[in-house]
Amino acid sequence: MKIGILTSGGDCPGLNAVIRGFAKYVYNQIPKAEIIGISDGYGGLINGEAHTLKESDFSGILNVGGTILGTSRQPYKLMTQEDQNGQSKLDLMKKNYKKLGLDLLVTLGGAGTHKTAALLSQNGCNVIGLPKTIDNDIWGTDVTFGFHTAVDIDTECIDRIHTTAASHGRTMLVEIMGNKVGWLTLYAGIAGGADIILLPEFPFDPDDVVKTVRKRIDNGKAFNIIAIAEGAITKAESKMKKQEKLEKRGGDVTLTSALARYIEKEAGVETRTVVPGHLQRGGNPSPYDRLLSTEMGSFAGKLVEEGKFGTTVAVVNNKITSNYLIDIAGKTKYIPKDHQMIGVARSIGISFGDGEKYEKN
């Protein structure tokens, strides 16, 4: 059996741990299996860039960040577009899947990766997916590997911001990754003791944010911590098109920067913005993610052994299971209004800038 494996999309803590967990299961449980490493994500499959991996290649990578296979982004919307020769990227991937003699392909990635995996599955390739993203936005799984490590990193960032905010009496805005969903901002914001949390799922009113800042100052709190997702939007912006939003913010100015200036002007407080950026995706996976990644990788090996293709690994109610790719591809797991952690946050006085209060059940 020849098994191709690739990592696609943005890098993420835990990729190597999953690769290792999968490989160790295969080498220990599936006789005569051969693992083919495909370089730089779907780009490697498109270009036929692959090499056989030895068992020793998977040693010493459990706690190493990044990916030994390399990764890249290949937009899903371009997969079926034909070039001047009448071939699409999908055609080339199918061609190289056969040329490499693969019996199946294992893909580690996020939402876009899963959509392409489903496309390959529908076009005659045996595929098994693994859910990777610090955004935790893949449908059908309670958690993705890499998420908890990123929560740890962002929580430490907010912890450190607390000391300088308190020392100088400043309002600090920490911009956390999450363009479409706010899971990372929500969890790190609560764990880091943020006073205000702003999420893509909950459009906010800047005046409500200013009101919260002023109220804290009136209550003797000299500083404020605001955890804001990079994809957060105001209530006014939620009704606008992308270009309108950019023009309202002032061109390339981020919402975080625009909000900081507005708070400073309206509340009369000194503000600063902090953007951890790619630090959130880098570094070694936490012990939790090493365990989760090993468990997920091993389970993917079991799916291979059982011939359960067209599936992706998932965690549901603390149990490792699988979903069909066709059922979850293209769907996004947003934070619901009634999510338990939203209620927890509101109950302890954290504001989401939407004017809503905690409601007791």
| pLDDT tens-digit readout, 2-39 | 999 999 998 999 999 999 999 999 999 998 999 999 99
Query: Does the residue 355 lie in any domain?
Result: no
Q: Which of 40, 135, 137, 195 is catalytic?
A: 135
AA identity, residue 191: A
Same domain, 302 and 168: no
Same domain, 52 and 158: no
Look at the chain and report how many structural domains it folds into.
2
Element at 244 (helix H, strand E):
helix 242-249
| pLDDT at 240 (0 to 100) | 85
| pLDDT (mean) for 115-139 | 97
Same domain, 60 and 118: yes
Same domain, 228 and 88: no
Nearest to 226 by CA among 164, 179, 274: 274
Same domain, 230 and 340: yes
Same domain, 220 and 126: no
| pLDDT at 209 (0 to 100) | 97
CATH number, residue 161:
3.40.50.460
Query: Does the residue 141 lie in any domain?
Result: yes
Give the N- to C-terminal CA distance of the chain in Å, as an integer.
55
Q: Which domain holds residue 209?
A: 150-280+336-347
Nearest to 13 by CA among 260, 261, 293, 232: 293
| pLDDT at 89 (0 to 100) | 95
The question of whether 135 is a catalytic residue gets the answer: yes
Same domain, 22 and 131: yes
Same domain, 205 and 103: no
Those residues whose C-beta lies under 8 Å from the C-beta of residue 78, and which sit 6 or more positions away, are: 89
| pLDDT tens-digit readout, 92-105 | 999 999 999 999 99
Same domain, 83 and 18: yes
| pLDDT at 129 (0 to 100) | 98
| pLDDT at 85 (0 to 100) | 86
Percent of the chain at pLDDT > 90 equals 90
Query: Does the residue 358 lie in any domain?
Result: no
Same domain, 138 and 191: no
Would you tell me how many other CB atoms lie within 10 Å of the CB of residue 342? Answer: 22
From the number of C-beta atoms within 10 Å of its C-beta (0-12, 13-18, 19+), residue 341 rates as middle
| pLDDT at 251 (0 to 100) | 66
Residue 343: φ, ψ to 5°: -65, -40
| pLDDT at 244 (0 to 100) | 80
